[in-house]
A and B are shown apart, each in its own frame.
Chain A
């Protein structure tokens, strides 16, 4: 190419680039992943209506045994007052002088409990519990404060139906009240 045509080429290339400035010029490199998206490893999150819950079941008495082995070391035998976060008791304490945010007093949804235990607990071996064991642990924790009865079987159908005591205890700040505290001199 002559110098003039090189220059022309450059000017043309640049003008094409700048005309698409709002949408930068790039090559899409994502791989279609419909199949991946369906696989269990990529469906760990459980929605409040139970989507994502695995098939399984458990009751409180089964959970008590697992709790003693897997959980009590950090959470304490009573699920409160040890190095890890409190799980049980203190329902109704939130508006008191000494509120205690336990699973049973504070968490608004039972689905979060299953979701969190399965993905993160026990902390030294996440994903080591079976679905049945996680259902049983949830049943044990919820039953300890009478949220479900001792013989209530938790499974993928019943768990989303559990109503937590603090279900209506949250005020969404985003998007309407994202600026609740404004101070002016």
Chain B
């Protein structure tokens, strides 16, 4: 199994005529450079950074000034600047961990300024003993780390539109990010309060300007949910829920309540605005899907993608992207260069973690022909990422949430890249 894709890739490259390019690596081996004396006048041509001391230490490092274009893209309500989203620039990133400052944001009414000394978490409702916790106490509990993605239910929702949006990959699909979250298994605190047998749901509430409240199954909180205090090793950023948030691996972003202040156990869901009016998917027959918590398997080629171009040909380009599934591990990502006619297995970069970003790579030899690049993810349950046509056949065109169809990048003969809908 492991060697078969490799052979296929080799064939793909040979078919595409890469053989000649690979044999061109011939170097001129002459006298080693260190055997020569560098004339004094040449040292003046060395980079400035080699001829003077560098800048001082910093208390908290920042990206290079040359990378200032790598930013979250903000789309906020013009009348309420704290209501909106900011998108992770997936097209500018590599690896699988999203830098904390680039983790996507969805705020319903801005980022609250919370003094951790004043913050409390209340666990009440159908428990034997309502309990409150301060942050200092929570920091003394045993912690676990979990690398997982969080994806907004509304990610990629431009895909429902009739015409393909011409936006960079991250700014259309980057309401998803991947972090190592560290915190307390929610189960520990619920057990401390004592769960009554009739409890089935939990209403979580945030301490933000929307006092966001939403119901979630107790079963999930008892399974793998974390009360996260740390993100990628440091305390949560304010925009990611400081001082504490819920993390429900693989389930839609809205449930991962930030600035968490209360967990109330109940026997039925609340039917709050964000579980009825929003984060539900209207179908063609006028009925809406509700409690669609799982984020299904999805993948996306992040490079090459819209906003880039292929500068020359024939040449080899490294097709790379991300795949993830709320059900578990990604087991396969296939890449097509002909709009889905033929597919090749991409190499999956390890370690492959359940409910986390998996990076895939496949070298592609391009000779200037018209192409449509696509990726298709499969997860360990056998679920295969659908085509847009299949998704719309199943869900209609007004679902708005949970768009996970295959993304297609058109490569023109000039090397320009456009977003198109697949065939």
Partner of A173, one of B80, B290, B382: B290
Residues of B within 8 A of A27 (CB): 140
Residue of A nearest to B288 (CB): A170
Can you give 16 A-B contacts (C-beta < 8 A)?
A26-B188, A29-B141, A30-B129, A30-B131, A32-B130, A34-B129, A94-B287, A101-B277, A115-B213, A115-B273, A119-B210, A120-B211, A126-B210, A171-B288, A173-B291, A181-B296
Residues of B within 8 A of A32 (CB): 129-131
Q: Mark A80-112, 1 if CB is under 8 A from B, else 0.
A: 000111000000001110010101001111011
A6 to B371: give the CA distance in the assembly, Å.
70
- Interface residue? A48 (CB, 8 A): yes
Residues of A within 8 A of B129 (CB): 30, 32, 34
Residue of B nearest to A177 (CB): B289
- Interface residue? A44 (CB, 8 A): yes
For the complex with contacts A84-B80, A183-B383, 10 further pairs of A-B residues with Cβ separation under 8 Å are: A30-B133, A45-B264, A84-B77, A94-B288, A96-B286, A111-B271, A112-B273, A120-B109, A173-B293, A183-B390
- Interface residue? A28 (CB, 8 A): yes
Residues of A within 8 A of B80 (CB): 74, 84, 123-124
Is A178 in contact with B293, judged by CB distance below 8 angstroms? yes
Is B140 in contact with A181, judged by CB distance below 8 angstroms? no
A-binding residues in B (CB < 8 A): 77-80, 83, 108-109, 120, 122-125, 129-134, 137-138, 140-142, 188-189, 192-193, 203, 205, 209-211, 213, 217, 219, 262, 264, 266, 268, 270-273, 276-277, 280, 282, 284-294, 296, 382-386, 390-391, 394-395, 398
Tally A residues with Cβ within 8 Å of B: 58
Number of cross-chain contacts by CB at 8 Å: 181
Residues of B within 8 A of A1 (CB): none
**Closest Cβ of chain A: how far from B323's Cβ, in Å?**
15
**Closest Cβ of chain B: how far from A160's Cβ, in Å?**
11
Is B124 in contact with A126, judged by CB distance below 8 angstroms? no
Is A170 in contact with B276, judged by CB distance below 8 angstroms? yes
A101 to B278: give the CA distance in the assembly, Å.
9
A172 to B390: give the CA distance in the assembly, Å.
22
Residue of B nearest to A123 (CB): B80
Main SS at interface, chain B: mixed
A119 to B394: give the CA distance in the assembly, Å.
36
Most buried by A among B262, B285, B385: B262
Residues of B within 8 A of A178 (CB): 292-294
Is A33 in contact with B124, judged by CB distance below 8 angstroms? yes
| A-B residue pairs, 6 tightest by C-beta | A95-B286, A30-B131, A94-B286, A29-B137, A174-B291, A37-B124
- Interface residue? A116 (CB, 8 A): yes
A53 to B307: give the CA distance in the assembly, Å.
52
Is A34 in contact with B383, judged by CB distance below 8 angstroms? no
Partner of A123, one of B83, B192, B219, B292: B83
Residues of A within 8 A of B394 (CB): 180-181
A179 to B382: give the CA distance in the assembly, Å.
12
Partner of A172, one of B77, B284, B290, B385: B290
Say whether, besides A33-B124, A36-B122, A101-B277, A115 and B272 are in contact (CB < 8 Å): yes
**Closest Cβ of chain A: how far from B355's Cβ, in Å?**
15
**Closest Cβ of chain B: how far from A21's Cβ, in Å?**
11
A44 to B193: give the CA distance in the assembly, Å.
21
A145 to B165: give the CA distance in the assembly, Å.
35
Residues of A within 8 A of B120 (CB): 36
A31 to B210: give the CA distance in the assembly, Å.
27
Residue of B nearest to A84 (CB): B79
- Interface residue? A169 (CB, 8 A): yes
Is B277 in contact with A48, judged by CB distance below 8 angstroms? no
**Closest Cβ of chain B: how far from A167's Cβ, in Å?**
10
**Closest Cβ of chain A: how far from B191's Cβ, in Å?**
9
Partner of B384, one of A29, A74, A116, A184: A184
A115 to B109: give the CA distance in the assembly, Å.
16
Say whether, besides A24-B142, A47-B270, A112 and B291 are in contact (CB < 8 Å): no
A184 to B387: give the CA distance in the assembly, Å.
11
**Closest Cβ of chain A: how far from B157's Cβ, in Å?**
14
Residues of B within 8 A of A28 (CB): 192
**Closest Cβ of chain B: how far from A41's Cβ, in Å?**
10
